[in-house]
Amino acid sequence: MNILVTGGAGFIGSHTCVALLEAGYSVIVADNLYNSSVEVLDRVKQITGKELLFYRIDVTDATAVGAVFDAHSFDGVIHFAGYKAVGESVEKPLDYYYNNTVSTMVLVSACRKHGVKRFVFSSSATVYGENRVPFIETMELRPPANPYGRTKVISEQILSDVAWTETGWAVALLRYFNPVGAHESGLIGEAPTGIPNNLMPYITQVASGRLEKLRIFGNDYPTPDGTGVRDYIHVCDLAEGHLRALEKLTPGVHIYNLGTGRGTSVLHLVKAFEEANGIKIPYEFAPRRPGDIAESYADVSKARHELGWSARRSIVDMCRDAWRFEKGRKEA
């Protein structure tokens, strides 16, 4: 089966490419390398011992996307491509609305033209807004606290509306929480350009000496230690969740939370990293970051029951694998 993976050179996309290739799928990647590099795809090939095809295109470019669809017969699409930083989305809302929603519309239009109706979408827990925890798929969505989350709501609605009005569509909307960690080989992981927006690469870059200290945004949340609580999930578990969703797709729209079902505070994650790797992480508190909420963690029972999937790796695994990857970058 030929699977188009948009954003396949990114953090989650690259790990999902590994899972797909190891499961016997043929993978075609479309990525503009905005926040990634082609070297990542070379490492995916090194890990799996298998080839993939790569198109360096922007998925908002309908002509470029159409040419890829003309060149291949796809059995399904996994759509990762998009901007993903909550804080940045508050600063650059128009960029986020354009990139994240137009790319979805371009892809869906190409799928319709070419008869491709199996679609897995990389959504986010941010769609739940400031809701009660744990978040469950059936709860009423509240307005997301940031433009990034709103782009995910819009894209989910686009896909749902198309699937409800045209027969044969099989759509999985995967609302996942906070992916961290890296492949156990240490060859691929989260390597953002510039100062990281996400917590784990910020921690690992402080540990390696790339950055002086960690800034923790907010220590006055209504949580046990005052810092934000999130559901951190190992990226390899998340990749396996995408594979299971693709394998189990049936006609209709299916929504799944992909997380561990456990909330971990920022300070708890920092301490877990220190204990797992024997490294002290200096940090300072900073004001809350616009667009953040106090708590976010999942009810994952639906994915467990319907997909036969659950996260297997621990916080310690996440911390050790993330540091192994960062050490490899430092030594390279």
Residues belonging to the active site: 148
Query: Comparing C-alpha atoms, which of 140, 115, 111 is closest to residue 127?
Result: 140
The alpha helices in 124-281, defined as continuous H runs, are: 147-165, 199-208, 235-248, 266-277
Position of tokens 């921690």? Answer: 203
Give CA separation, 230 vs 9, 168, 223, 283, in Å: 25, 36, 11, 18
User: How far apart are the C-alpha atoms of 195 and 210, rounded to whole Å?
Assistant: 10
Query: Residues in the chain, how many?
Result: 332
Neighbours of 45 (CB within 10 A): 15
Q: Distance of CA 262 to CAs 29, 49, 135, 314, Å?
A: 32, 35, 11, 11
